[in-house]
Amino acid sequence: MAQDEVNGCKLLVIGGSAGSLEVLLQVFPHLRKDLAFPIVVIMHRKAAAESTLEDLLNSKTQLKVKEADDKETIRPGVIYIAPADYHVLIEKDGTLSLDASEKINYCRPAIDITFETAADSLGPALTCLLLSGANADGANGLRSAASLGARILIQDPTTSDVSYMPQAGLAAVKSATVLAIKEISGTINSL
């Protein structure tokens, strides 16, 4: 990928499930506080989840972490967390939409729909990162995003607590960049 395409990141979407919170807790403390793009995090969580996830992640980074709100404009340097039991869609006008439609891959929020809508909106200006998890959610979304020119990053399955999700992502996008946990923050900082 050409250097100017890499430097053109306008949004990073991170998807994960079982084992991914531990990765975020290792990565977030090392993120630059002046990131020029927003991050949207889609994690499978229980519908009754409290805001403790937001508080926990806020304590680990200099960036602002907040739960995504419907029709909110995405701002650089902010980490948006998908609310429990809502899909997060990235709109072409730079806003987030929350959606309570059917579960995808038995999940809501589903990673696939966020990767797909972000790719439709941003194409090559999107970077997707898929982390540890126990199902294939995210693989189809990565395939869609890659077909529209997005940069695809996947946690090395050998460093994942649960390797099924990153393995499914690699099967879907064989050209993805595979990252060990210790490489993730540096890669994000260089986008």
- Contact in structure between 82 and 15 (CB atoms under 8 Å): no
Indicate which residues carry an active-site annotation.
17, 44, 137
Using DSSP, state whether 100 is helix, strand or coil. coil
Give the pLDDT band (50/70/90) at residue 8: confident
**pLDDT of the residue at 96:** 98
Residues 6+ apart with CB under 8 A from 8: 124, 125
The pLDDT tens digits for 72-92 are: 999 999 999 999 999 999 999
**Cα–Cα dist 176/170, whole Å:** 7
pLDDT tens for each residue of 90-113? 999 999 999 999 999 889 999 999
Q: What's the pLDDT score for residue 94?
A: 95
120-171: pLDDT as tens digits = 999 999 999 999 999 999 999 999 999 999 999 999 999 999 999 999 999 9
Residue 145 CB contacts under 8 Å (≥ 6 apart), including other chains = 115, 116, 118, 119, 126, 128, 152
**Residue 14 pLDDT greater than 80, yes or no:** yes
Please report the domains of the chain, with CATH numbers, ordered by start residue: 3-189 (3.40.50.180)
Q: Look at residue 105 in the predicted model and tell me its pLDDT.
A: 86
Binned at pLDDT 50, 70 and 90, residue 6 comes out as very low
- The DSSP secondary-structure symbol of 8 reads T
Model-wide pTM > 0.85: yes
Residue spans of beta strands (DSSP E) within 44-180 = 64-67, 78-81, 87-90, 96-99, 126-130, 151-155, 177-179
The 10s digit of each residue's pLDDT in 18-71 is: 999 999 999 999 999 999 999 999 998 776 555 688 889 999 999 999 999 999
Tell how many helices (H) and how many strands (E) occur in the chain. 7, 9
Q: Give the position of tokens 């929020």.
A: 109
Residue 1 has pLDDT above 90, yes or no: no
Which amino acid is present at 42? I
